[in-house]
Structure 1
Amino acid sequence: MRILIKILIGLSLIVLSNLIMAEQCSKSCQLDQVKAYFSALDKVAKKGSLPSDIDTLLELTHDDVKYIHVEYQANFTKDTWRKAFLRNLKLGRYQNTDKNQIRILNSIAGKNHLAVEYSHGLIQENGEWEKTDKYLAIFGFTDGKLSLIKELW
C-alpha cells in the first residue's frame, strides 16, 4: 500500500510540474512569439491588408491581452485594439510595402516578460535591411501567450 501511495504521489508531482511548465514560456519561446507578432504586424501594416490579417495578429495574443502605448496614452483590450486596427484599415492608413520590415535588435528576458529593442526598416535594392529609429517595448506572457505589449517610446 505504501508503494502505491508513493507512486501516486510521484505521478501527481510529475503531472503538476508539467502543467506549470506548460504555462511558462522560455526565453526562446518568448522571442519566437515576439518575432511572430512583428511579422503579423508587418502584414497588417501593408497596403491591401485585410481584416483577417488583423485577426491573425490578435490570435497570437492571450484573451486578456493589454496593449499600452505610453506616449500616445493608448490602453487597449483585445476588443478595443481590434477596433482601432479596423478603423485604421478603413481609413487607409496601412500603406507599407514588402520592403518594410520590423526587426528585433536586442532583447532581455525576465520572468514572464521580454524587453525588446526593435526597429522598423526598409530592405534596400542590394537586399540589405536599413533600420530607422529604435524603439523599446515590454512583452508579457500568460499561459504561454502574449498578454502585454507595452510600447515605451
Structure 2
Amino acid sequence: MKYILIIGLIFAGLVSSKATLASDCDSTCQLAQINSYFSALDKVSLKNSTINDIDSLLALTHDDVKYIHVEYEANFTKDTWRKAFIRNLERGAYQNSSENEMRVINTIFGKNHIAIEYSHGVIQPNGAWQPTEPLLVIFGFTNGKISLIKELW
C-alpha cells in the first residue's frame, strides 16, 4: 500500500510538471504570438474591418493586458483599448489595403519580454515588401500570453 501511495505521488508530480510545461511559452512561442498579433493588427487596419477583427486581435492577449504608447500618452486596459479601436473604426480611421503589412525586423529576447524592431510597409507590384521607418515595441508575457505592449516611438 505504501508503494502505491508513493507511485501515485510521483505520477501526480509528473502530471503537474507536464501541465506547467504545457502552459509555458518559450521564445519561439512568444515570437509566434507576436507575429499573430501583427497579422491581426493588419486586419484591423484594413478598410472595411469589423468589431470582430478587433475582438480577434484582443483575444490574442492576456485578460490583464496593458497597451502603452509613450509618445501618444496612451495607457489602456483591454477594455479601454477595445473602446479606442471601436472609436477609430467608427470614424473611418482604418483605410489600409491588403498590400499594407507590418513585419518584425529584429528581436531581442529577455525574461518574459521581447524587444521588437518592426516596420509598416507596402507590398510592391513585383512582390517586394517596402518598409517605412523602423519602430520599437516591447512585448511582455504572463502565463504564456501577451500581457504588455509598450510602443516606444
Same fold (TM over 0.5): yes
**Shift of residue 121, structure 1, vs aligned partner:** 0.4
Residue ranges of structure 2 left out of the alignment (5+ in a row): none
Q: Which residue of 1 aligns with 2:120?
A: 120
For normalisation by structure 1, the TM-score amounts to 0.94
Listed as ranges, the matches of 1:26-45 within 5 Å are 26-45=26-45
Between 139-148 and 126-135, the greater mean CA deviation after superposition: 139-148
Q: Which runs of 4+ in 1 moved over 3 A?
A: none
Q: Measure the CA separation in 2 of the matches of 1:125 and 1:117.
A: 25
**Shift of residue 8, structure 1, vs aligned partner:** 2.3
Q: Report Cα offsets for 1:15-54 as digits up to 9, x if no partner.
A: 2212322332111110110000000000000111111110
**Shift of residue 2, structure 1, vs aligned partner:** 4.0
Q: Measure the CA separation in 1 of the matches of 2:28 and 2:119.
A: 20
Q: Percent identity?
A: 60
Q: Measure the CA separation in 1 of the matches of 2:9 and 2:24.
A: 23
- Say what the alpha-carbon RMSD is for the aligned residues: 1.2
Please give the secondary structure, in 1, of the residue aligned with 2:101.
strand
Between 2-11 and 118-127, the greater mean CA deviation after superposition: 2-11
Q: Report Cα offsets for 1:83-138 as digits up to 9, x if no partner.
A: 00000011111111111000000112222221111000000111100110111111
How many pairs align?
153
Q: Which residue of 1 aligns with 2:94?
A: 94
